[in-house]
Amino acid sequence: MAVGAFFGAGVGAWAAIAIGRPILHLGLSLMAVGTLVLYLSLRSVDGSVGVGTLGPGLGVFGLGMGMIFVPLFSIIMGEIDDREVGSASGLLESLKQLCASLGVAVLGTLFFDRLALEDGGPRSAMAAGRHLVAAQETLIVVLVLVVAAWAIGWLLPRKARERI
């Protein structure tokens, strides 16, 4: 995922000014494709998960993630008045941190709820293949969230702010 995000960030940095908001939709589309690849990869394994299983989906997801994280602030701030940039960017950063924390907490809670560790512990869950089912169900929620973000992206300014 980190390798994909590295390359996606390079594309996103250029595209923020060059094409504006469409880079977010392209990045989110790639994240959706990566999520689907992960989901299908986990459905096709018999319990053994490794780099070969997770690598392609995580790479595509990371590429899309890098494409949106770099230009996101510039695009969101695209129509903010110069006198309001300081307070708006502080609020935006605070909201980003809050939402990232909530996202990890909610998806982690969902995964471990579906894993049902109380029924014999982690080894029992893995032996029964519940870790794959829990991951697949969590990926479906991730896909729904990515699609929601794609739809909400249309509400953002068309062009990035050239200077913050």
Arithmetic mean of pLDDT, 16-21: 85
Q: What pLDDT is stored for residue 163 in this prediction?
A: 57
Give yes or no for residue 164 having a pLDDT over 60: no
| Structure tokens that stand for 36 in this block | 């689907």
Pick the closest to residue 132 from 50, 55, 30, 32 (CA basis).
50
- The C-alpha R_g of the chain, in whole angstroms, comes to 18
Cα distance between residue 61 and residue 103, in whole Å: 16
Arithmetic mean of pLDDT, 129-138: 87
pTM here is 0.86
Give yes or no for residue 117 having a pLDDT over 70: no
Asked if 8 and 65 touch (Cβ cutoff 8 Å), the reply is: yes
Cα distance between residue 156 and residue 154, in whole Å: 6
Q: Is 99 exposed, middle or buried (0-12, 13-18, 19+ CB in 10 A)?
A: exposed
**pLDDT tens digits for range 55-74:** 999 999 999 999 998 888 88
More confident residue, 144 or 16: 144
